[in-house]
Amino acid sequence: MDEEIRQERHFCVFGVGEREFLIPKESVVQILDITKIFPIPGSPDYIVGALPVRGKIVPAIDLAKVYNIERINYSENKLLVLEVEGDKIGILSDITPFFVSFDKEIVVEDYLDPKKLYEELKVKQPSSNKNNENIL
C-alpha cells in the first residue's frame, strides 16, 4: 500500500489490529462511535454491516478482513466515515483516528487511496462472492 502522494499533506490516521493506515484528511467526513451495527445479509465478508446515520445507512468495512490482519481483541471501535464520489463508506478503526500533517516531499507508507479502496471494495454485480476473494 506504499504509494507516492501528490498534493495531500494532511492525513487521518486510523488503526486496524496492530497496523495503522493513512488516508487523506479531505475525504474524511465524520468519525462516529459505533453503537450498533446492522448486518447486511448477503454482503461480502469485509462489510460487517450498516450503521444508521441521520436516517441513512453507512456501510462499515473491516479492513482486517481485507488485508487479513489478526485482531487481538475487539476493543471499542470507531467508524471513520469517508466520502468518495458522493457516496459514504465507513471504515472500522481500532483506535480513535487522529490527524497528522507531513511535508509534501515525504513518501508516506501505509497510505490508502480512498478512490482506489472504494473501487476495490465496491460490491460488484451480480455475483459478489467471487469478487471479494480476489481482494484477499
Contact between 56 and other proteins per CB under 8 A: yes
Q: State in angstroms the smallest separation of the CB of 45 from other proteins.
A: 5
Question: 134: alpha, beta or left, given left = phi > 0 and alpha = psi -120 to 50?
Answer: alpha
Exposed/middle/buried for residue 84 (C-beta within 10 Å: 0-12, 13-18, 19+): middle
Contact between 23 and other proteins per CB under 8 A: no
Contact between 63 and other proteins per CB under 8 A: no
Q: Which stretch binds other proteins (CB under 8 A): 9-17, 18-26, 96-104, 116-124?
A: 116-124
Contacts of 28 (CB under 8 A, 6+ apart): 12, 80, 81, 82, 97
Contact between 114 and other proteins per CB under 8 A: no
Contact between 75 and other proteins per CB under 8 A: no
What is the binding site for other proteins (CB under 8 A)? 38-43, 45, 47, 50, 52, 54-57, 59, 65, 68, 70-74, 84-89, 118, 121-129, 131-133, 136
